[in-house]
Chain A
């Protein structure tokens, strides 16, 4: 019966001042919503990138060489434990349209690493087909168009556009990297069958470590682990540069040596011819004009070969470069942005949340104080402190739980999505929200419960300690006091009655005064921060491009 009464009392308390109850729920909800929403945007952004890079098996390290890479290099890279290794070819060419610079990559259906995500059409099936950077789609390139890509190392130059793609190598829509043709910057990337490439050497070796897949590419942990892998790769490639130089030299010397042999053979023939001439003329003639001409041309050939040999040994100097994801064009910007959003989340919503806590605290405190006589009555009837407290605790708990649930759900489902969609204008990571950011949610729950339950417990501890007789006595109005301003008699006399009362009340109810000051300060702070952030962003853009 006692519990039934308690619940009725609770229900009627809520229903009787529904406005206040809803206000508490709303303010808690807003605080939680902003806090959880903005705070989980950072992790959400990282999660988007991690998911995409994992799904596409983006290379963790790309090995590039000044002299191209061969199957021997692939083998070396495979020595690293847990490494998935693939060779890739690319050339830079100029497209017939707008003379855009295009980085054309080799495509094999069997490729596992740096997989492409189709946004339209299909991947290349025939040598005459090409898929193009999704960016190009917005710049007038269309499915079914023919495109000419000019580069001497390609078997063919005319292609049909059969698809548009996103690549894990190019996540920043603002940049496609640089090259040494055209105006120096690459406009688009493209993929066509590997058979279209003349050169046998690879342009890059993609190395991927499935073990690192779950890690945030922008995090310290990932970067430290990749650095370790690069060290291992470098160790595996130790001495490889010199060997590669020799390989190239031997390969290049082969035709030269063949020429040399021919020349040597020709020289022998000439010597033999000279002897014949000498024998035939019984020593009168040692040579003929014909032979002299031949000798001359042989000397020229010999000089050319010597020069070529010399050039060969000078040219071939192999250097390996180990590029990480952070070296990909525009890759790190994303991390910086996500960091910045996370940093804002540490301040902005927290201030708002603190204001919400303040308001809730005051509202609940006042509610309990208003019911002081009722608390006294219950005490007089012999109710224990906990029996009395229950009602208020449940009230606060109910408001807090409702506010928290709505706030967490709405916060998680809306704010990160807004941030992500803003980021998508510049980055190719498809959205893949984590869902609930539990550490943040737990902090939010803690703060919300502090604001509600904390307030109830705080006032109740004060109130329940008093004797029922004292509680039931109608509270004497707080004593008015003379304030400092009244000493300035002339000034004070000029104030209207209302002003005098206001000034006195200001100091009479100090807690309310502080509540007002803090609330206004917090609100002003938030607005100012908002304008400040906007101005800074605008201004940094201007100065950067000046």
Chain B
């Protein structure tokens, strides 16, 4: 299997007045095609920062981000837009659904601009929301909203699915359902999936665990025998 993602010396700094905040300090890691990887680390470690960079939503201050062999760190604004449009499905920590659109319409919003998009209704059925398709986000629970957000990411049929603490705001059972969905994506469809979490307990579900602490990669653990999320308790 080839490396789908290769992060080389990725550094991201923020200038806040006179102080410089180093969010990512020369990160190096890679993720293989079709893998489910978990980025694990405490709050403020720089997880979201690197995930945003991988999703083309931000650019590193220095370093290379090779996606399928192409360095997106060198992309222009237009190239980044195209990359986000076709290659990435992003699941945001706070769902970020458009409040004025129904569940279906929120999914359509993504599928409308992607070339290989899936049928929004089918994707919503897959995430178990067939009964909620015409509801507005305000009428949905947190778990349901997060499932719509996942459906929206999957509807593009992207090569890469990125999820930033998808269970952060959910209860145990709902969180498990959501993680299962993401695991299935990687197992059944062969898409590369990256999940951020600060919960070390869910690490066994991943093919690869990237531990980040204090802006640096501390350890990368490959797990030849990942467990199904159903078997994990915490």
Contact = CB atoms under 8 A, between A and B. Distances in A.
A382 B88 CA distance: 9
A16 B111 CA distance: 25
B100 A12 contact: yes
Contacts of A381: 84-85, 90, 109-110, 113, 152
A374 B58 contact: no
Q: State the 3 A-B residue pairs at the shortest beta-carbon distance, nearest first.
A: A382-B85, A382-B84, A469-B58
Given A378-B98, A384-B81, 20 more contacts: A1-B111, A2-B113, A5-B101, A5-B105, A9-B98, A16-B100, A377-B96, A377-B97, A378-B109, A379-B81, A380-B84, A380-B96, A381-B110, A382-B81, A382-B113, A383-B113, A467-B57, A469-B58, A472-B57, A472-B96
Contacts, number: 75
A332 to B, nearest CB: 62
Nearest to A2: B112
A276 to B, nearest CB: 135
A384 B92 CA distance: 19
Contact of B82 (A16, A382, A387): A382
Nearest to B53: A469
Contacts of A13: 100
Contact of A382 (B52, B58, B86, B99): B86
22 contacts: A1-B111, A5-B105, A5-B109, A8-B105, A9-B100, A12-B100, A16-B100, A376-B96, A380-B55, A380-B84, A381-B85, A382-B81, A382-B82, A382-B84, A382-B88, A383-B85, A383-B113, A387-B113, A467-B59, A468-B52, A469-B57, A472-B57
B39 to A, nearest CB: 16
Contacts of B83: 382
B108 interface: yes
B67 interface: no
Contacts of B65: none
Nearest to A1: B112
Contacts of A382: 81-86, 88, 113-114
Interface residues of B, number: 29
Interface in B66-104: 81-86, 88, 90, 92, 96-101
Contacts of B112: 1-2, 5
Contacts of B108: 1, 5
A158 interface: no
Interface of A: 1-2, 5, 8-9, 12-13, 16, 373-374, 376-384, 387, 467-470, 472
Contacts of A384: 81
Contacts of B57: 379-380, 467-469, 472
Nearest to A468: B57
A381 B111 CA distance: 9
A123 to B, nearest CB: 71
Contacts of A469: 52, 57-58
A468 B48 CA distance: 13
A377 B100 contact: no
Nearest to A9: B100
B194 to A, nearest CB: 15
Nearest to B85: A382
Contacts of B84: 379-382, 468
Contacts of A379: 57, 81, 84
A467 B58 contact: yes
Contacts of A5: 101, 105, 108-109, 112
Nearest to B112: A2
B113 A380 contact: no
A42 B225 CA distance: 87
In this complex, the member of A374, A380, A381 whose beta carbon has the largest number of chain B beta carbons within 10 angstroms is: A381
B25 to A, nearest CB: 18
A240 to B, nearest CB: 85
B85 A9 contact: no
A470 B58 contact: yes
Contacts of A378: 98, 109
A312 to B, nearest CB: 101
A481 to B, nearest CB: 14
A521 B48 CA distance: 48
A161 to B, nearest CB: 75
B16 to A, nearest CB: 11
A373 B96 contact: yes
A468 B96 CA distance: 12
A380 B90 contact: yes
B54 to A, nearest CB: 11
Contacts of A376: 96
Nearest to A471: B57
A197 B57 CA distance: 98
A384 B83 CA distance: 11
Contacts of B114: 382
In this complex, the member of A16, A382, A470 whose beta carbon has the largest number of chain B beta carbons within 10 angstroms is: A382
Nearest to B90: A380
A395 B99 CA distance: 17
Contacts of A387: 113
A504 B55 CA distance: 40
Contacts of B59: 467
Nearest to A384: B81
Contact of B101 (A8, A380, A468, A472): A8
B98 A374 contact: yes
